[in-house]
């Protein structure tokens, strides 16, 4: 059976998510007159709203992962057939790049660019592990039909309580290294973020398992 619709949904959803994250960051930076807190708040709200909508609309098609760590954990749990994992991750990474480029095009910026924004150090790595662990925990604990709102609320909160502003997603880190704007991250800082995210994701799975939840994963 051809499963291209699942992969296409992951590509479109990840592209839209990154477009929302990066585009709202550009708009916020332009309008906030140098007030970083206001810019981050605007960036947060746009991301939360976009995430909720994307999970609701694309969840029935692909599960609305938009995140390689989510797909990895779901494949490990056999909630995602393991032969789909590679295609999911490729689609997510492609979507992240397309989302960044779409945001640039809308704001008349150079399409192809690299971030120079430094985001590194043990505190930020730990923050990414916490953010991603929490994300997987709430995904796996979400009651049926409520994952979209719970996940969106968690990400909105994690933007503010983590030192890294909660990327919590290797595809997001990949897409954000392709933009030298408010939401960017320097390419040299991405590998450590990704490692922390993978570790955090499986720690979130472990915590969920220790609590012996009876909920089935309805995730995003």
The alpha-carbon radius of gyration of the chain (Å, integer) is 16
- Is there a domain that residue 219 lies in? no
Matching residue, tokens 């799975």: 205
Residues 6+ apart with CB under 8 A from 220: 51, 54, 55, 59, 63, 64, 65, 66, 70, 139, 147, 148, 151
Residues 120-130 as b or e (16 or more Cβ within 10 Å = b):
eeeebbebbbb
Helices (H), the chain: 4-31, 36-62, 68-76, 85-106, 122-141, 147-161, 170-176, 190-210
How much is the pTM?
Answer: 0.93
Confidence (pLDDT) at 128: 98
pLDDT tens digits for 36-68? 999 999 999 999 999 999 999 999 999 999 999
Confidence (pLDDT) at 1: 52
Percent of the chain with pLDDT over 90: 94
Residue numbers of the chain with a pLDDT score lower than 50:
215-220
- Is there a domain that residue 123 lies in? yes
- Is there a domain that residue 139 lies in? yes
Coil, helix or strand at residue 153: helix
pLDDT tens digits for 119-145? 999 999 999 999 999 999 999 999 999
- Is there a domain that residue 220 lies in? no
CATH number of the domain where residue 162 is located: 1.20.1080.10
Q: Is 76 exposed, middle or buried (0-12, 13-18, 19+ CB in 10 A)?
A: middle
Q: Residue 59 is encoded by which pair of tokens?
A: 């969840």
Q: Is 92 exposed, middle or buried (0-12, 13-18, 19+ CB in 10 A)?
A: buried
- CA dist 194 and 37 (Å) reads 26
- Is there a domain that residue 217 lies in? no
- Is there a domain that residue 215 lies in? no
- CA dist 80 and 36 (Å) reads 39
Confidence (pLDDT) at 217: 47
- Is there a domain that residue 136 lies in? yes
- CA dist 44 and 29 (Å) reads 13
Give, in order, the Cα–Cα distances in Å from 168 to each of 132, 133, 136, 154: 4, 8, 9, 11
- Is there a domain that residue 186 lies in? yes
Residues 1-32 as b or e (16 or more Cβ within 10 Å = b):
eeeeebbebbbbbbbbbbbbbbbbbbbbbeeb
Domain of 161? Answer: 4-210
Domain count, the chain: 1
């Amino acid at each position: 059976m051809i499963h291209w619709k699942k992969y296409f949904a992951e590509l479109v959803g990840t592209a839209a998510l990154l477009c929302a994250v990066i585009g709202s960051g550009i708009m916020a930076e332009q309008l906030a007159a140098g007030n970083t807190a206001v810019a981050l708040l605007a960036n947060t709200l746009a991301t939360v709203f976009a995430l909720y909508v994307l999970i609701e609309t694309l969840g029935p098609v692909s599960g609305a992962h938009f995140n390689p760590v989510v797909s990895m954990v779901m494949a490990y749990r056999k909630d995602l057939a393991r032969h789909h994992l590679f295609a999911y991750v490729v689609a997510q990474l492609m979507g992240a790049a397309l989302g960044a480029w779409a945001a640039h095009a809308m704001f008349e910026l150079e399409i192809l660019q690299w971030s120079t924004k430094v985001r590194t150090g043990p505190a930020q790595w730990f923050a990414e592990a916490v953010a991603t662990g929490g994300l997987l925990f709430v995904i796996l604990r979400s009651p049926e039909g409520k994952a979209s709102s719970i996940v969106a609320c968690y990400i909105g909160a994690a933007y503010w309580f983590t030192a890294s502003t909660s990327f919590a997603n290797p595809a997001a880190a990949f897409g954000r290294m392709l933009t030298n704007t408010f939401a960017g991250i320097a390419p040299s800082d991405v590998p450590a973020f990704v490692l922390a995210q993978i570790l955090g994701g499986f720690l979130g799975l472990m915590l969920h398992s220790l609590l012996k939840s009876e909920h089935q994963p309805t995730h995003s």
